[in-house]
């Protein structure tokens, strides 16, 4: 009989734990260039006392290293990598205020703070990481996802933003959950579109049905396109969307003893999330274009026959 190993702690910092299958989870570490930038910014902003409070609050090992503020912060971040199971979670809490701070004015102080924010963002991007509001660091999914995030924020689609964050956070740790989130992203966009355009919800409110309603209203009909290349791409988008919804359904169960269960890997989940974001972006761009189109000219009242 296998004995379950309990989570290990050291100085208040979680060292390791196990998932539901009993496999040890080792978190990604903080890249060296990011540690250098964070240590530099923290030493500029904090006193020794506030630096100690910040790192302990973030979940770093409680014993503060000796040395100057910059040397202390750098050594402490290295200790986080060695002793904590989720170094990126600790990092997210450390930089949360630095990166989310609202900076007003154009004096030298404000410019310095904005420069620090840009340095943090650039360092994260160079390490293939992304900061998600609320103190979370996740793997970057690329330009389509980031562009989609901006569209979501501009339209204030809160439900879509929640699914976006969920997908980003779950690609590596829980591929099944990430695939489910990818499908939910598209469902949320479709629902928001249907509500905003005052359309009738389909009787069956799964992704296939919601997507069918939206694409018909937006005119996504490959047969009406003259360019064969665009026909193929649009047909592919329709097929991929149906595939994402089906994968979410089928990956959740083996569907009978005669079929092999799905063995989803992070690369499969990443493919689904990338695809969902690309399709979602196309829908939002098309929606935006539809909103900006001027109404057809109306005849003056005196020209309308009674």
Q: Are the C-beta atoms of residues 208 and 245 closer than 8 Å to each other? A: yes
Residues 231 and 256 in one domain: yes
What radius of gyration do the chain's Cα atoms show?
24
CA distances from residue 227 to 144, 237, 240 in whole angstroms, order as listed: 24, 16, 20
Domain count of the chain?
Answer: 2
Is there a single domain that holds both residue 177 and residue 263? yes
Q: How far apart are the first and last CA of the chain?
A: 88
* In-domain check, residue 304: no
What residues contact 156, with CB distance under 8 A and at least 6 apart? none
CA angle 9, 80, 38 (to 5 degrees): 150
Residue 104: inside a domain, yes or no?
A: yes
Q: What is the pLDDT along the chain (306 residues), one digit of tens a residue?
A: 333 333 333 333 543 333 333 333 334 789 999 999 999 999 999 999 999 999 999 999 988 999 999 999 999 999 999 999 889 999 999 999 999 998 888 899 999 999 999 999 899 888 878 887 788 887 666 667 766 666 666 666 666 666 777 787 778 888 888 888 888 888 888 888 898 889 999 988 888 899 999 989 998 887 777 677 777 888 888 888 888 888 877 765 434 444 555 678 888 888 888 888 888 888 888 888 887 765 455 555 444 443
Residue 266 in domain: yes
* Pairing state between β 136-139 and 129-132: antiparallel
Does 193 lie in the same domain as 117?
Answer: no
| CA-closest candidate to residue 246, choices 159, 169, 186, 166 | 186
Question: What are the beta bridge partners of residue 136?
Answer: 132
Residue 267 lies in a domain: yes
Please indicate, yes or no, whether residues 200 and 283 belong to a single structural domain of this protein.
yes
Q: What angle do CA 19, 20, 26 make, to 5 degrees?
A: 10
Q: Is residue 4 part of a domain?
A: no
In this structure, are 73 and 160 located in the same domain? no
Pairing mode of beta strands 136-139, 24-25: unpaired
Last residue of a domain, one of 128, 156, 172: 128
Residue owning tokens 């629902």: 191
Give dist(CA 62, CA 129) in Å, integer. 26
Same domain, 93 and 199: no
What is this structure's pTM? 0.54
Alpha-carbon separation of residue 110 from 4, 39, 46, 79, 177 (angstroms)? 52, 20, 16, 32, 41
Containing structural domain, residue 56: 10-128
User: Are the C-beta atoms of residues 135 and 142 closer than 8 Å to each other?
Assistant: no
Residues 282, 154, single domain; the answer is yes
Domain stops at, among 128, 163, 196: 128
Query: Does some domain include residue 182?
Result: yes
Same domain, 82 and 52: yes
Q: Are residues 210 and 274 in the same domain?
A: yes
- pLDDT at position 147 is 65
Same domain, 83 and 166: no
Whether 300 is covered by a domain: the verdict is no
* CATH number where 176 lies: 1.20.120
CA-nearest of 179, 204, 176 to 190 is: 204
The torsion of the CA quartet 106, 111, 113, 117, rounded to 10 degrees, works out to: 110
* 203 and 249 fall within a common domain: yes
Count of Cβ atoms closer than 10 Å to residue 128 Cβ: 12
Same structural domain for residues 109 and 197? no
Query: How many Å apart are CA 204 and CA 262, to the nearest integer?
Result: 25
Query: In this structure, is residue 87 part of a structural domain?
Result: yes
CA distance 143 to 120: 18
């Amino acid at each position: 009989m296998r004995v379950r190993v309990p989570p290990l702690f050291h100085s208040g910092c979680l060292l390791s734990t196990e998932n539901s299958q009993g496999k040890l989870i080792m978190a990604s570490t903080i890249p060296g260039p990011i540690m250098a930038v964070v240590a530099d910014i923290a030493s500029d902003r904090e006193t020794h006392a506030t630096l100690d409070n910040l790192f302990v609050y973030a979940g770093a090992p409680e014993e503060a290293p000796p040395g100057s503020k910059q040397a202390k912060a750098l050594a402490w971040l290295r200790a986080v990598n060695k002793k904590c199971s989720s170094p990126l979670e600790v990092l997210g809490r450390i930089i949360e205020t630095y990166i989310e701070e609202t900076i007003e004015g154009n004096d030298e102080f404000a410019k310095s703070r904005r420069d620090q924010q840009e340095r943090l963002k650039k360092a994260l991007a160079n390490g293939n990481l992304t900061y998600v509001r609320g103190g979370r660091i996740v793997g970057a999914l690329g330009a389509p996802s980031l562009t989609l995030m901006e569209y979501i924020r501009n339209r204030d689609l809160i439900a879509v933003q929640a699914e976006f964050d969920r997908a980003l956070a779950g690609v590596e740790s829980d591929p099944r959950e990430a695939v489910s989130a990818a499908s939910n992203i598209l469902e949320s966009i479709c629902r928001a579109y249907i509500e905003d355009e005052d359309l009738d919800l389909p009787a069956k409110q799964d992704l296939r049905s919601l997507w069918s309603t939206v694409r018909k209203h937006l005119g996504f009909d490959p047969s009406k396109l003259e360019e064969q290349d665009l026909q193929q791409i649009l047909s592919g988008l329709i097929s991929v969307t149906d595939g994402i919804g089906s994968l979410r359904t089928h990956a959740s169960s083996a569907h009978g003893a005669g079929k092999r269960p799905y063995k989803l890997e992070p690369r499969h989940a990443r493919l689904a999330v990338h695809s969902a974001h690309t399709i979602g972006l196309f829908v939002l761009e098309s929606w935006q274009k539809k909103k900006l189109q001027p109404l057809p000219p109306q005849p003056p009242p005196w020209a309308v026959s009674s």
